A and B are shown apart, each in its own frame.
Chain A
Amino acid sequence: MCGLAYFFEKEGLATTLVCFVREHAEAVSPPRVLWLNMPMGRPFGKPNDPEFQKGIIRAALGLLDAPEGPVLEDYPEVVPVRDGRMTHALPDDLVSQAEDRANPAVLLARIQAEVAGLRLGYDAAVKKRGRTTVGASGLAIEELAPFIVSWLTSEKVKSPRKGVPPLMMLKLACEDLWAYYTETASGVRGITGMEELGDWFWAETEAAKAILALEVLSEQSENKALRQLVELFLIVPRFWA
């Protein structure tokens, strides 16, 4: 973001930005930065809280009134995080306890039952919000689990989407499945906090077991492409562990 600010200013457009890592903003020093003491992934603070969101926007746009810069201000309101972790972090023991190929056929059947059980809630959540974030992979919801679980039995799965590499499809399918669950939980079960949603999905669902099994498979694999799942933190949020 700080780099983008540099190029936009060079193009003659005034910029203001919010940021999460204060030290990076200090190092690059773009013209106007508002530092947020909040979890990463939510630059306007809190979902469904218009006044809180507008407070951040007003403060960021307010930096444009400074006669000279660079300006780096700290936003006074805080959204607390747990133990310095900037989002939900998966406990490491969940990965170490995961079974790498734990009977894929049984696992798939369990996930499919879980997905079917969530469907009414998901549809209600989508109707309420008028939108969904599920769909980045382009696969139908019913296609996600079979595609993901197929990787537990073969490292040479073909991409079902032209122009999108297999490993990227796997990542997007995992994210779609994850979003399907958490959108449902936040939409109709009233679980809205990122920690609670993370704890529930990763510790309690069959879908997470498949993704964790892939993480273990990647850790143990000698296939360089597959190892990227772990090395680049592509499917399991372990960065903040």
Chain B
Amino acid sequence: MVLMHDMPKVARERLEEVEMPDFTGRPWTAPVAAAERKVAVVSSAGLSKRGDKPFSWSARDYRAFSAGDKNLVMTHVAVDYDRTAWQQDLNAILPVDRLNEMAADGEIGAVAETHYSFMGATDPLEYEKSVHDVASRMKAEGVNTVLLAPV
């Protein structure tokens, strides 16, 4: 089990220094039944469509792409996570094919037409406005379940 105290010194100290956001309250949305779930993926990998403006190093914005967009690029500020897996298979970070298979098998209701990415190196408190925009778009598509995937 790799917990922070098992990690090398430089990384451990940096991760320990990360200031945790102080949220008010604990919002809890009641999930729908599995068969009714329409699932969108939100990645923090800094993914975008080819040609989109790269994420800035303190980005608060987001990028959207359709479920069929496979030829994505990544502009995350960090290089210290594995990038070789997603090079070999997009589903290692954005599992739209797997979700489609699960929808076809009846494990979930449906897969969103649109998925999203943030660049996950920003103070989480800065994301509120962008999440509001993304949530509005999701609701317009009938999405009720969000699968959050970090890198």
A residues neighboring B (CB under 8 Å): 1-24, 27-29, 31, 37, 39-48, 50, 53-54, 57-58, 60-61, 64-65, 68-70, 74, 81, 83-89, 129-133, 135-136, 138, 163-164, 168, 172, 175, 178-179, 182-183, 186-187, 192-194, 197-198, 232-241
Contact = CB atoms under 8 A, between A and B. Distances in A.
Nearest to B148: A17
A76 B110 CA distance: 27
Contacts of B140: none
Given A16-B148, A186-B84, A239-B14, A133 B1 contact: no
Interface of B: 1-4, 6-8, 10-11, 14-15, 18, 20-21, 23, 26-32, 34, 37, 39, 42-44, 50-51, 53-54, 56-57, 70-75, 77-93, 95, 97-99, 101-102, 107-108, 118, 120, 124-125, 127-128, 131-132, 134-135, 138-139, 143-151
Contact of B118 (A4, A40, A175, A187): A4
Contact of A19 (B72, B86, B90, B150): B150
A236 B10 CA distance: 14
Nearest to B18: A24
B148 A4 contact: yes
A239 B78 CA distance: 9
B54 A57 contact: no
Contacts of A39: 81-82, 85
Contacts of B10: 238-241
A47 B89 contact: yes
A21 B88 contact: no
Contacts of A239: 10-11, 14, 78, 80
Given A20-B150, A28-B21, A89-B8, A42 B85 contact: yes
Contacts of B95: 44, 53-54, 57
Given A15-B148, A86-B11, A136-B54, A179 B83 contact: yes
Contacts of B146: 5, 8, 13-16
Contacts of B29: 8-9, 12-15, 31
Nearest to A42: B85
B144 A133 contact: no
A-B pairs, 9 with minimum CB distance: A3-B124, A41-B82, A41-B81, A17-B148, A239-B80, A47-B89, A11-B135, A7-B131, A40-B81
Contacts of A86: 2, 7, 11, 80-81
